[in-house]
């Protein structure tokens, strides 16, 4: 079932929803519940800044501090610091990693460590902020692998199949939080008048009939033959059916979210133009695996073109992968084209 309206007669806050989910796991200790609250709180704090980004920019340019008398900080750094400072002292986390940091983020010695590992892309698509385009935070939660004490790199380098929870906050015309703990994907819309995320999209299912394909087609000439032919297939160039509409913001969370609700496929393939990104641009741990998990929970799929995204064992924190995500049939089709034209040798 998918609804998209907030029924104020029967308001379900994110707290209540997460708690109800916890009750369905009698063995749960509540630590994950509190961790998800902490992340939702970070989302509210980050949203309070992203909606004022233009103002901060004006004040920043004028060379003055902002209205609260604080120095104006870049928003991606602010989002990064918010997530760290709301999670480093709770005793729920063993170690963190962020797209903004080259190495793992240890828990300070003065605080206890916990059983979970938190990875995040604090503000994906932040290059779009200057243009007032929606941006997002993506997060992943794993169980630690090491026994106890400070968490290690190996705790972070886990395949998506091990994910305990994943989600994103989308700071758009309204702020939304979508998450999964492996029992469906659920969406919440932030109501600023109440100061809460309210359940608006329970059990999201990606529509069977896709509407959109989303990619940076400006790079098409650098793609493999398989990916080029796949694109032409999506456009209906084989004449067998009507082509899909092309939609691309260039802000992953927004592009993903639209296709999740509207149906379609997003891809950022390998690209031979730039040796910096021979494996695509998007990162396995911070972007592809969490969104792949959410999509799978909504009935879709994700692949790097050969292997399911959730089955890839990461070897480094900032590893990049070609990424195809969306309707299962369209993602399967991408693999079929790559198999036929790129792996034929």
Which residue, judged by CB position, is nearest to Mg ion in the bound state?
124
Which range touches Mg ion (CB under 5 A), out of 60-68, 71-79, 114-122, 273-281? 114-122
φ/ψ (deg, to 5) at 200: -125, -25
Residue count, binding to Mg ion (CB under 5 A): 2
Please write down the HEC assignment for all residues of the chain: CCCCCCCHHHCCEHHHHHHHHHHCCCCCCCHHHHHHHHHHHHHHHHHHHHCCHHHHHHHHHCCCCCCCCCCCCCHHHHHHHHHHHHHCCCCCEEEEEECCCCCCEECCCCCCCCCEEEEEEEEECHHHHHHCCCEEEEEEEEECCCCCCCCCHHHHCCCHHHCCEEEEEEECCCEEEEEECCCCEEEEEEECCCCEEEEEECCCCCCCCCCEEECCHHHHHHCCHHHHHHHHHHCCCCCCCCCCEECCCCCHHHHHHHHHHHCEEEEECCCCCCCCCECECCEHHHHHHHHHHHHHHCCCEEECCCCEHHHCCCCCCCCECCEEEECHHHHHHHHHHHHHHHCCC
Shortest distance (Å) from residue 303 CB to ligand AHM: 16
Between the CA of residue 344 and those of 210, 220, 337, what are the distances in Å? 28, 20, 10
Please, which residue, 182 or 278, has the CB nearer to Mg ion?
278
The CA-based diameter of the chain, rounded to the nearest angstrom, is 65
- State the residues that interact with ligand AHM by CB under 6 A: 99, 121, 124-127, 216, 250-252, 268, 281
Which range touches Mg ion (CB under 5 A), out of 35-43, 121-129, 212-220, 267-275? 121-129
Shortest distance (Å) from residue 127 CB to ligand AHM: 6
Shortest distance (Å) from residue 3 CB to ligand AHM: 28
Q: Decide which of ligand AHM, Mg ion, none touches 250; Cβ closer than 5 to 8 Å per partner kind.
A: ligand AHM
Residue 80 in contact with Mg ion, rule: CB under 5 A: no
Residue 121 in contact with Mg ion, rule: CB under 5 A: yes
Q: Decide which of Mg ion, ligand AHM, none touches 114; Cβ closer than 5 to 8 Å per partner kind.
A: none
Q: Which of 100, 124, 271, 304 binds Mg ion (CB under 5 A)?
A: 124
Please, which residue, 124 or 335, has the CB nearer to Mg ion?
124
CB proximity list for 327: less than 8 A, separation 6 or greater: 206, 207, 208, 210, 263, 264, 265, 300, 301
Q: Decide which of ligand AHM, Mg ion, none touches 126; Cβ closer than 5 to 8 Å per partner kind.
A: ligand AHM
Which range touches Mg ion (CB under 5 A), out of 122-130, 157-165, 195-203, 308-316? 122-130
Please, which residue, 124 or 155, has the CB nearer to ligand AHM?
124
Shortest distance (Å) from residue 6 CB to Mg ion: 29
Please, which residue, 121 or 335, has the CB nearer to ligand AHM?
121
CA 166, CA 291: separation in Å to the nearest integer? 8
Please, which residue, 124 or 304, has the CB nearer to Mg ion?
124
Residue 100 in contact with Mg ion, rule: CB under 5 A: no
Shortest distance (Å) from residue 125 CB to Mg ion: 7
Please, which residue, 125 or 210, has the CB nearer to ligand AHM?
125
Shortest distance (Å) from residue 290 CB to Mg ion: 11
Shortest distance (Å) from residue 121 CB to ligand AHM: 6
Shortest distance (Å) from residue 308 CB to ligand AHM: 20
Give the residues lining the site for Mg ion (CB under 5 A).
121, 124
């Amino acid at each position: 079932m998918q609804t998209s309206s907030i029924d104020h007669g029967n308001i379900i806050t994110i707290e209540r929803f997460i708690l109800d989910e916890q009750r369905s796991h009698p063995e749960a200790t509540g630590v994950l519940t509190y961790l998800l609250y902490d992340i939702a709180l970070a989302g509210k704090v980050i949203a309070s800044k992203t909606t004022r980004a233009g103002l901060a920019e004006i004040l920043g340019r004028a060379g003055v501090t902002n209205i609260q008398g604080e120095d104006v900080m870049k928003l991606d750094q602010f989002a990064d610091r918010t997530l760290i400072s709301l999670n480093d002292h709770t005793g729920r986390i063993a170690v963190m990693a962020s797209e903004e940091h080259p190495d793992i983020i240890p828990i300070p010695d003065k605080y206890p460590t916990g059983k979970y590992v938190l990875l995040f892309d604090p503000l994906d698509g932040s290059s779009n902020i200057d243009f007032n385009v929606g941006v997002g935070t993506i997060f992943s939660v794993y169980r630690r692998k090491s026994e106890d004490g400070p968490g290690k790199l190996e705790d972070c380098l886990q395949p998506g199949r091990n994910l305990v929870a994943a989600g994103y906050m989308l700071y758009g015309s309204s702020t939304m939080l979508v998450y999964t703990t492996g029992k469906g994907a659920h969406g919440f819309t932030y109501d600023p008048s109440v100061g809460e995320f309210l359940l608006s999209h329970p059990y999201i299912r990606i529509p069977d009939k896709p509407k959109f394909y989303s990619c940076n087609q400006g790079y098409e000439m650098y793609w493999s033959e398989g990916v080029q032919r796949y694109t032409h297939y999506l456009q209906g160039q084989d004449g067998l059916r009507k082509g899909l509409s092309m939609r691309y913001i260039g802000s992953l969370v927004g592009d993903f979210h639209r296709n999740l609700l509207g149906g379609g496929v997003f891809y950022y393939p390998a690209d031979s133009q730039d040796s910096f990104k021979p494996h695509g641009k998007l990162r396995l741990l911070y972007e592809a695996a969490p969104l792949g998990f959410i999509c799978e929970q909504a009935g879709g799929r994700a692949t790097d073109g050969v292997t399911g995204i959730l089955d890839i064992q990461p070897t480094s924190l900032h590893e990049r992968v070609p990424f195809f995500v969306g309707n299962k049939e369209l993602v399967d089709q991408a693999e079929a084209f790559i198999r036929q034209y790129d792996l034929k040798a």
